[in-house]
A = this chain, B = another copy of it.
Amino acid sequence: MFESAELGHKIDKATYAKEEPKLREALLDVQFELAQTKKFPVIILVSGVDGAGKGEIVNLLNEWMDPRHIQTHAMGQPTEGELERPEMWRFWRALPPKGKIGIFFGSWYTWPVLHRVFGDSDNQSLDHSLENILRFEKMLTDEGALILKVWMHLSKDRQKTRLKELEKDPKTRWRVTARDWEHFKLYDKFRKVSERALRHTSTGDSPWIVVEGTDTRYRSLAVGTVLLDALRKRLDQAKQAQDKPKKSNAAPMVKSLDNLHLLRALDQTQKLSKKTYEKELEKYQGKLNLLSRHPKFKKISIIAAFEGADAAGKGGSIRRITGALDARYYQIIPVAAPTEEERAQPYLWRFWRHIPRLGRVTIFDRTWYGRVLVERVEGYCAETDWMRAYGEINDFEEQLASRKIILAKFWLATSKEEQLRRFKEREKIGFKRFKLTEEDWRNRKKWDDYERAVCDMVDRTSTGIAPWTLVEANDKYFARIKILKTLCARIEEAL
């Protein structure tokens, strides 16, 4: 895989002097068009062998193009706050929005590769990391991102020569550290592991691009040209509105044949009297409070996710939880239509940004499941998009679980009749009237479609690591206590 990058590619001074200004101008042009049209984000990973000019390339791209539309991220060791979140969290936070270019100098490949080289992991565990990366990158390209994965390569001899040259020159000597020589001793191992990584992650949608790093002029023109060609191609394709197929090729979801489904199977006659409710509320709020002050609570974090039809009682239930918690340690995220900033990112981005650190609680009032509920039912996204979302959401939640984040998902189920009763009540009571909108009545008309979407959602995303709790919510008292109980049980289990 590295053969072509060991041939000794070179560009002479005269050619470079002629080509460089043309390339810069063309790059500025496509960058401007990208920034104007905001069709897709560009993600550039700069990886490779030490001394192959990774840093120089990053600087050069910033120099050649308009740096206001470039975000450069030098990803070193994760910080304390980053270590408290899933591994990919810091990369999610750094993703460029549509119209911008994000350069990752040190990327999601860096640590899996280095761990393997230094013998801290084996091939199987490297492959496991690579598969996670593949899923992540597939999600990004499915969401429209252009990913350029540039691998700067040097042959073993050239790397040695280069390090010696840098050391000889007093002006550059500081750049060669003991760590560089230590890495050099591992060259063969590093090459082998890198080859494995490149082989497993060169896909049709985001292949690796290997560039020989020996000659400064060659590698500069090579990377610049790759970037130019890729941007030009994608911008042209966007103009022709060449889109992914809207209809999925998969089998359609299973229809209900016998009128029985998860929501209908719920026993909505379950009720609590006001007196019992108040007693239980005190009991479980007290319990939740105690749990939240348990010493081990600082080693986990909680996400409580609420979904349910309009007027199902999400707000009231959430208040019964927060009532038991210290306001400094929880955060409520009400999820409405995405903001402009959020629309410029993959749909999961706006949830990733709110992942709590250890010892904290985040409560989502509506969640990432909007993708497979409202967006599906209202046709806000294509069938292919919501069909792939189940798997993407499972991946997301698996990453949460891997970092000891307890995820409790609640669907508050009310009957159609009960919803109507509550709507009418809201109309009557002045201070509740603002809670009822035209949209609520519109959504109500699609009751059956929503029910079907909910059942499909539970079937595909209720898992051992992140089960759904279906809450019989025709009686608010019963619902609130069931939610508090479930949450307490999940936390107790984890402590």
A residues with CB within 8 A of B:
1, 3-4, 7-11, 124-125, 127-128, 131, 141, 146, 148, 192, 195-196, 199-200, 202-207, 209-211, 218, 221-222, 225-226, 229-230, 233-234, 237, 242-245, 247-252, 254-255, 257-258, 260-262, 265, 384, 387-391, 394, 398, 455, 458-464, 468
Of the residues B251, B260, B388, contact of A233 by C-beta under 8 Å: B251
Closest partner residue, chain B, to A215 (CB atom): B258
Q: Is the CB of A226 within 8 A of B207?
A: no
Q: Is the CB of B265 within 8 A of A252?
A: no
Q: Is the CB of A260 within 8 A of B388?
A: no
Please give 16 more A-B residue pairs, beta carbons under 8 A apart, in addition to A11-B257, A148-B251, A233-B252.
A3-B459, A4-B261, A4-B459, A7-B262, A9-B257, A124-B128, A192-B464, A199-B394, A202-B391, A202-B394, A203-B391, A204-B389, A226-B251, A230-B252, A233-B251, A237-B249
* Complex CA–CA separation, A226 to B8 (angstroms): 58
Of the residues B247, B258, B462, contact of A10 by C-beta under 8 Å: B258
Q: List the B side residues contacting A234 at CB < 8 Å.
A: 249
Q: List the B side residues contacting A265 at CB < 8 Å.
A: 7
Q: Is the CB of B221 within 8 A of A257?
A: yes
Q: Is the CB of B251 within 8 A of A230?
A: yes
Q: Is the CB of B146 within 8 A of A207?
A: no
Q: Is the CB of B205 within 8 A of A248?
A: yes
Q: Is the CB of B254 within 8 A of A202?
A: no
Q: Is the CB of A460 within 8 A of B207?
A: yes
* Complex CA–CA separation, A413 to B127 (angstroms): 35
Given A237-B247, A250-B206, residue A464 in contact with residue B195 (CB < 8 A): yes
Q: List the B side residues contacting A458 at CB < 8 Å.
A: 3-4
Closest partner residue, chain B, to A211 (CB atom): B254
Q: Which of A211, A221, A245 has the most CB of B within 10 A?
A: A245
Q: Is the CB of B384 within 8 A of A204?
A: yes
CB distance from A34 to the nearest CB of B (A): 14
28 contacts between A and B (CB under 8 A): A1-B460, A1-B461, A3-B459, A4-B455, A4-B459, A7-B265, A8-B260, A148-B251, A192-B464, A195-B463, A199-B398, A202-B390, A203-B388, A203-B391, A204-B250, A204-B384, A204-B387, A204-B390, A205-B248, A205-B388, A207-B387, A207-B390, A209-B251, A209-B254, A229-B252, A234-B249, A237-B249, A244-B245
CB distance from A266 to the nearest CB of B (A): 10
Q: Is the CB of A207 within 8 A of B251?
A: yes
* Complex CA–CA separation, A222 to B223 (angstroms): 54
Q: Is the CB of B146 within 8 A of A258?
A: no
* Complex CA–CA separation, A455 to B7 (angstroms): 12
Q: List the B side residues contacting A463 at CB < 8 Å.
A: 1, 195, 199
* Complex CA–CA separation, A62 to B413 (angstroms): 41
Given A1-B462, A258-B9, residue A251 in contact with residue B222 (CB < 8 A): no
Q: List the B side residues contacting A210 at CB < 8 Å.
A: 254, 459
Q: List the B side residues contacting A257 at CB < 8 Å.
A: 9, 11, 218, 221-222, 225
* Complex CA–CA separation, A468 to B199 (angstroms): 14
Q: List the B side residues contacting A195 at CB < 8 Å.
A: 463-464
Closest partner residue, chain B, to A40 (CB atom): B249
Q: List the B side residues contacting A211 at CB < 8 Å.
A: 254
Closest partner residue, chain B, to A192 (CB atom): B464
CB distance from A226 to the nearest CB of B (A): 6
Q: Is the CB of A260 within 8 A of B141?
A: no
Given A125-B124, A391-B204, residue A225 in contact with residue B258 (CB < 8 A): no
CB distance from A23 to the nearest CB of B (A): 10
* Complex CA–CA separation, A124 to B125 (angstroms): 8
Q: List the B side residues contacting A203 at CB < 8 Å.
A: 388, 391
CB distance from A471 to the nearest CB of B (A): 14
CB distance from A333 to the nearest CB of B (A): 25
Closest partner residue, chain B, to A237 (CB atom): B247
* Complex CA–CA separation, A208 to B355 (angstroms): 29
Closest partner residue, chain B, to A224 (CB atom): B257
* Complex CA–CA separation, A148 to B249 (angstroms): 11
* Complex CA–CA separation, A459 to B6 (angstroms): 11
